[in-house]
A and B are shown apart, each in its own frame.
Chain A
């Protein structure tokens, strides 16, 4: 592999990693702070992609506005969902919540099938992002992918800022380390959880919306994303946003180069990475890295 190809492959790895990071960030938030193993996260990603499919024609070239509106809708949805299905489960065994999120997957899939049908759909990128830049002799790189990478970085930064530099973030951090303390301080933890859950859903949906024009929108699309995001969350250390970023980039690299060099067994690469890291560091890379 020559240097130019290698550089392009690195770019591919980073771009994939950043998108994974965005999906995983919502998961790590819900997971780290509320301790909920949310199997329905992939469904929220799917929800985002279908939102983009539904909203894109309405917003036309105002793609960014569409992302904002879609995210708000998803956040509202997440807020209601937490209220309806999770708010009374926290005192129980965590595994009960797992069962609940699994049931949600089934319900979401069926609702999707009833509302939108089972066909494969595409979402068009807005014209101002439709171009490509030349890359090496044969290849071009779509501008939209660069936009997506930048968007993921920006959202990641905003998330980091919210968690580390705002009052809400302080409450969230306190809630993650000690629930009783937060309650003692007079902060309504139920409200905090609801906000965190809504935020997690919004992030997953946002990732789905950003991915939609690069990908396609189809039944069962959440399933594959789900398991990879769990891998990212756990490698990075549950609840750690910088950890999720590092882990997502690592997964991107392993996935990309695994496909090139070990085609037959490339499926194993990511899981091997996770096993090795966890055996070496049983709590992930950055457990305490808030």
Chain B
């Protein structure tokens, strides 16, 4: 019974998310939207870190490139076409991921972490320091993308509900794609590489090619998250590509628990809600809310100390106990 429920949990969660806008205040809807976009981003990294065992500290580059591509390719005085912009954002991120992957997969472990960081920092400085990149102040997306067919606007992301729906769709699609992928031959190969790359190579797998494919796919999904955030905020800024952002999303999946898709989603929920709660005066009082760095830091330290497997480990332990 519990096992069945557990299997259907993602679907139930998706349905619940679809129903939420009906009951939540605009602010809480925004909060859920933010969690969903972060969850897509976290899932894309989970494919690399949790599934394939490649720890990247440059993942925000692809996220940022997706967002920048969205803004740069949007026409200035009319709304861009969703069907064009979304694939373009993913493709732009994918192209950079293909190049970075080809070069960085020569290295391993910590060196891989640092090479990905290096390429991300280069992308960061290109948008941060050059006129073509828009500079430090970032760029506005004047009009949010729309999906129009035969002169009729079907989806307009200026509309909050549409934006929410698109983000939910993206999250479900990403989750489903990755879940299927993990069960496929490709996914098994990636898992094999994570556990023992040597053996996979001996078994005749071209491991570098597999890792490269995972890297590119992860980059494209990060680009999708980037598209969503650009459409949501209507504004992009170089800090989206900074190593702080790469580090933050890595922390999200560690906090959630590595090796599970659910971990990435739970991490996104936990991270956003924890910080939100700890910095909300109405919940913790003015004095503590102003010291949110301290309380958040301590909370995370407690999580690390008490939950060796991340937030998801907590859920699993309860489950096995029941």
**Residue positions of A touching B, CB distance < 8 A:** 31, 37, 39, 85, 88-89, 92-93, 95-96, 98-100, 102-107, 109-111, 114, 227, 230-231, 234, 238, 264-268, 271-272, 274-275, 278-279, 282-284
Question: Is B26 on the interface with A (CB-CB < 8 A)?
Answer: no
Known A85-B301, A103-B297, A106-B293: A271·B107 in contact at CB below 8 Å? no
A235 to B: closest C-beta gap in Å: 9
B307 to A: closest C-beta gap in Å: 9
Per the 8 Å Cβ criterion, residues 88-127 of B in contact with A are: 103-104, 106-108, 110-111, 113-115, 117-119, 121-122, 124-126
Question: Is B250 on the interface with A (CB-CB < 8 A)?
Answer: yes
Q: What are 18 A-B pairs with beta-carbon distances under 8 A?
A: A85-B305, A88-B305, A99-B254, A100-B300, A102-B300, A104-B297, A106-B293, A106-B300, A227-B117, A234-B110, A234-B111, A265-B125, A265-B130, A267-B121, A267-B129, A268-B125, A275-B115, A283-B111
Question: Is B75 on the interface with A (CB-CB < 8 A)?
Answer: no
Say whether chain A's binding surface is mostly helix, strand, loop, or mixed. helix
B314 to A: closest C-beta gap in Å: 14
Q: Which residues of A contact B243 (CB under 8 A)?
A: 227
Q: Tell whether, in the assembled complex, residue B115 and residue A107 are in contact, meaning their CB atoms are under 8 Å apart.
A: no
Q: Tell whether, in the assembled complex, residue B103 and residue A111 are in contact, meaning their CB atoms are under 8 Å apart.
A: no
Q: Which residues of B contact A234 (CB under 8 A)?
A: 110-111, 114
Contact of B110 among A109, A238, A264, A265 (CB under 8 A): A238
Q: Which among A89, A110, A271 has the highest number of chain B CB atoms within 10 Å?
A: A271
Q: Which residues of A contact B55 (CB under 8 A)?
A: 95
Known A99-B304, A102-B300, A278-B118: A264·B130 in contact at CB below 8 Å? yes
Known A265-B125, A271-B125, A275-B118: A98·B301 in contact at CB below 8 Å? no
Contact of A275 among B122, B129, B251, B258 (CB under 8 A): B122
Total contacting residues, chain B, CB less than 8 A: 42
Question: Is B294 on the interface with A (CB-CB < 8 A)?
Answer: yes
Contact of B114 among A88, A98, A103, A230 (CB under 8 A): A230
Q: Tell whether, in the assembled complex, residue A267 and residue B128 are in contact, meaning their CB atoms are under 8 Å apart.
A: yes
Q: Which residues of A contact B111 (CB under 8 A)?
A: 234, 238, 278, 282-284
Q: Tell whether, in the assembled complex, residue B247 and residue A278 are in contact, meaning their CB atoms are under 8 Å apart.
A: no
Q: Which residues of B contact A284 (CB under 8 A)?
A: 111
Task: Report the bound CA distance from A234 to B111 in whole Å.
Answer: 7
Task: Report the bound CA distance from A85 to B304 in whole Å.
Answer: 10
